[in-house]
Structure 1
Amino acid sequence: MKYLAIKQHFNHMKDSDPPGKIIGLTGGIGSGKTTVAHLLQEAGFPVYTSDDRAKDIVNDNPALKEQIQELLGAKAYNEEGKYDRKYVASIVFNNDELLLKLNALIHPAVRKDFESWISFQTTDYLFKETALLFELGLDKECWKSLLVTADDNLRMKRVMDRDGKTYREVENVIEKQMAENEKIKRADFIIYNNSDLSQLRLETEKFLKQLNEFAV
């Protein structure tokens, strides 16, 4: 099994590109995307975790909170005024139109937060972690993209063990996400996470080495 595959014939950076090269980091549920993000941080690279920041922004941004309540109703927030993720998921999971409208509200707020975060970074490479990198077309805003992937059955087992979900529940989530073969076609860098943590660490190191060699 080849754990790290990298597309050939990259386009070189243009003179107009920003000094910090943004690499979009993505992966489907159970792929190990978050673990790779932690490994990159351990290696000294700044990682903006879009999904985690979104969880804070929906609570901390009054204007966004009002917009979400207008779209989904007052129950989108609980009695303590906190975003009710479970309730929201229950009404948008099988409603693609509503989910699209919700993302259209949250994404601009997250993007503004990301742009603010960038202004404080000084490294050559910045990583933007987001589960919907390709689905929302955010890869077009990045210098390159890195996909963390694994065999479907392994991903399902990981999520079942981690979250206590049934096979069918996890299958429903995976079916809602972009197919892995389509993500692989779009990604510039790919890490295959079909083994254990020690192997994933090695593959992440290989990716960083390849990245540095490419930049020379």
Structure 2
Amino acid sequence: MEAGSLHTGKKIIGITGGIGSGKSTVSKFIEELGFPVYDSDFWAKELVNIDKNLKSRIIELLGEESYDENGKYNRKFVAEKVFDHQELLLKLNQIIHPAVKIHFENWVKAQNAEFVFKETALLFELKLNESCYQSILVTADENIRIKRVMDRDGRTYREVKEIIDKQMPEVDKVKLADFVIQNNTDLESLKEFTHQVIDELKRMDL
């Protein structure tokens, strides 16, 4: 459990989970309860297209093909370029993540809420949990996660398994998380578990 970690008087709650875990669905349920949620993955995808400094640094690292003829981020090219090159991926992350961090800090300042939530796939990998008041891990059995992603994205079993194998092991994430939401059943159960976590956070704040 991380103490402190207050941003201008606001308590930051990190939400994370591996591919197919359902973390975005949990974020949606939290938004429905009236809490602001920052989607780090969404904003990372936006910023690579709208931040001119970011664009020039990515082109410098990976080449002109990082953007198409319309100046739009070439996600397929970049993914193929860095997938089996950890050093390149690290350098790319070192360019993108600081930009997202600054954007998030400005977003937090604009929120009028005591609790603000940050959804990010790399909460523990980047040690972002250390600047959070609490952290929530959404998890599910690996075979369930693989089937979800295969159904959702049309990927093969092997493709999804490769992605999972490159992520931090679930057992390590569970040890680091303050709250763990198991998402092995249905949406109603997931919503109920999410509400229970929010109720507990409110009680902690009394």
| 3-state SS in 1 of match to 2:97 | helix
Structure-2 residue corresponding to 1:31: 21
CA distance in 1, matches of 2:92, 2:2: 34
Alignment of structure 1 residues 1-216 onto 2, 5 Å: 10=1, 13=4, 18-216=8-206
| 3-state SS in 1 of match to 2:112 | coil
CA distance in 2, matches of 1:99, 1:12: 31
Q: Which amino acid aligns with 2:78?
A: V
Q: For residues 69 and 196 of structure 1, do their structure 2 counterparts lie closer, same or farther at Cα, with a shift above 3 Å needed?
A: same
| 3-state SS in 2 of match to 1:190 | strand
Q: For residues 212 and 171 of structure 1, do their structure 2 counterparts lie closer, same or farther at Cα, with a shift above 3 Å needed?
A: same
Count of residues in correspondence between the two structures:
206
Q: Which amino acid aligns with 2:102?
A: K
TM-score (norm 1): 0.92
| 3-state SS in 2 of match to 1:114 | helix
CA distance in 2, matches of 1:24, 1:37: 10
CA distance in 2, matches of 1:13, 1:175: 33
Q: Which amino acid aligns with 1:129?
A: E
1:152-194 C-alpha deviation (Å, 9 max, x unpaired): 0100000000011110000000001000000000111111111
Q: Which amino acid aligns with 1:38?
A: K
Q: For residues 11 and 136 of structure 1, do their structure 2 counterparts lie closer, same or farther at Cα, with a shift above 3 Å needed?
A: closer
CA distance in 1, matches of 2:45, 2:2: 35
> Structure 1: which 4+ aligned runs deviate by more than 2 Å?
10-14
Shift of 1:119: 1.0
For structure 2, list consecutive stretches of 5 or more residues without a partner in the other structure.
Answer: none
1:111-153 C-alpha deviation (Å, 9 max, x unpaired): 1111110111121100011101111111112111111110101
Shift of 1:13: 4.2
| 3-state SS in 2 of match to 1:201 | helix
CA distance in 2, matches of 1:17, 1:65: 28
Q: For residues 74 and 12 of structure 1, do their structure 2 counterparts lie closer, same or farther at Cα, with a shift above 3 Å needed?
A: closer
CA distance in 2, matches of 1:156, 1:72: 30
Shift of 1:12: 5.4
Q: Which amino acid aligns with 2:133?
A: W
TM-score (norm 2): 0.96
Shift of 1:17: 6.6
RMSD: 1.4
| 3-state SS in 2 of match to 1:191 | strand
CA distance in 2, matches of 1:182, 1:174: 13
Structure-2 residue corresponding to 1:4: none
| 3-state SS in 2 of match to 1:29 | coil
For structure 1, list consecutive stretches of 5 or more residues without a partner in the other structure.
Answer: 1-9
* Matched-pair contact (CA < 8 Å) for 2:15–2:119: yes
